[in-house]
Every structure is written in structure tokens, then in C-alpha cells.
A and B are shown apart, each in its own frame.
Chain A
């Protein structure tokens, strides 16, 4: 059974770069859209963006200038970097894979449990 697990620092200082990794076990991330989603405390879910195994990326315009998502197929991992963070970036960060039925109906089929990242000095 494929599982996703987020890892990375739980505390990041303002203006620094948030870095998280999603490790995939029990299967390959090939042909999946590897996605990051976050949820600030008390707020809804926000889609950050994805990377496809081909290397194609798509980011939320609201974060595009600060986000980089990368892929390491040899380690079966994908990563998130968010630069110049502020307190508004405090959130639970989830990695997920988006899959399509008949390459048409896309949904987030697998999720990690999430990791809380707090931005504070």
C-alpha cells in the first residue's frame, strides 16, 4: 500500500526558507501529480502546486513567486521550498498525489498525515 510521509523542520524563522520533503513508500510516484496542500490554523485547505514526474510544475498564482516543488525519482521523494516566509505561512503542510480516472476526473487519492510548520522568531 502506497504511503506518503512529510518531514522537515517544525519551526522556521521569518524571512527564511521553509523546506519539506515527502517520502513515498510502497509504490512509485511515476505518472502521479505530486502535490503540496496546506491548512493554516482555523482555516481551509489551500492548494500550493504540483510537479509531474516529467518535471512539469504548476503553482498557485498566490504563491508562485516564492514556491519551488522538485522531484527526486531515485529516492521516490518530492520536496517543497517556500522562501521569504512570514507568520501567514504557518500551517499544516500535506503532501498528496493527484490521480485521474480516464485522465479526466482528478482527485487527491493519497495524502500524508501532514506536518505543522510554525513561522516564528
Chain B
């Protein structure tokens, strides 16, 4: 299985802050990396696929980068609705695996 190491596990930020979350994989996965946002009681939503492609309808303040084993999710200017938990996930092989999540708090 491909292991996913996501950091930090949580962070405190303010509205307007630039936030960066990193994800490292145990083996190279090219750009087969997705990012999800999850709010309590709601269905998770894909934000970015193929490491850097923004899902249709997702605000442009979200961006992704990276290839190989190191990836980054950036929120350029944090908005109140962005407080949530974020997960990375590899789609290079099965079993699909996820990072442990990063909780973005005020």
C-alpha cells in the first residue's frame, strides 16, 4: 500500500491568511493525487484532482502543486467557509489511500 503522510495534523489560522498543507507519499505517484474538503456532517468534496487541476466550481483561492512524492495544497486567502478538514488521496494504485487529514481551525 502507498502510505500518505500529511502535515500538519491541525493548524490555527485567521480569515485572510495563506494556508499551506503538505502531503508526502511513500512511493512516487506522478500526479495521481487528489485533495478533499470535509465539513462535519456533510459529504466530503473533491477540490483538486491530478495534483493541480481545480474541480469545476471550486474557488480559485485553492491551488495544488507537486509531483512524484511531494504535494501541496494552498489556500491563498482563507475564508470563513474554508474552516474544515482537508485530506489528500492517491489514485495511482489500489488500495486507494488517504492522508490522516489536516483540520483548519480559527
Contact = CB atoms under 8 A, between A and B. Distances in A.
Contacts, number: 62
Nearest to A58: B94
Contacts of A113: 41-43
Contacts of A61: 1, 95
Q: Is the interface of A mostly helix, strand, loop or mixed?
A: strand
B32 A105 contact: yes
A47 B96 contact: yes
Given A45-B101, A47-B94, A96-B44, 17 more contacts: A44-B87, A44-B99, A45-B87, A47-B96, A49-B95, A94-B44, A98-B96, A101-B49, A101-B53, A105-B49, A105-B50, A106-B32, A108-B89, A109-B46, A111-B45, A113-B42, A114-B43
A60 interface: yes
A31 interface: no
Interface in A51-86: 58, 60-62
A112 interface: yes
Interface of B: 1, 31-32, 34, 36, 41-46, 49-50, 53, 55, 87, 89, 91, 94-101
16 contacts: A44-B101, A45-B89, A47-B94, A47-B98, A49-B95, A98-B91, A101-B49, A106-B32, A107-B49, A107-B55, A108-B34, A110-B43, A111-B45, A113-B41, A113-B42, A114-B43
Q: Is the interface of B mostly helix, strand, loop or mixed?
A: loop
B64 to A, nearest CB: 12
Contacts of B34: 107-108
B44 A60 contact: no
Nearest to A108: B46
Contacts of A108: 34, 36, 44, 46, 89
**Residue among B46, B96, B98 with max Cβ neighbours from chain A (10 Å):** B96
Nearest to B87: A45
Nearest to A111: B43
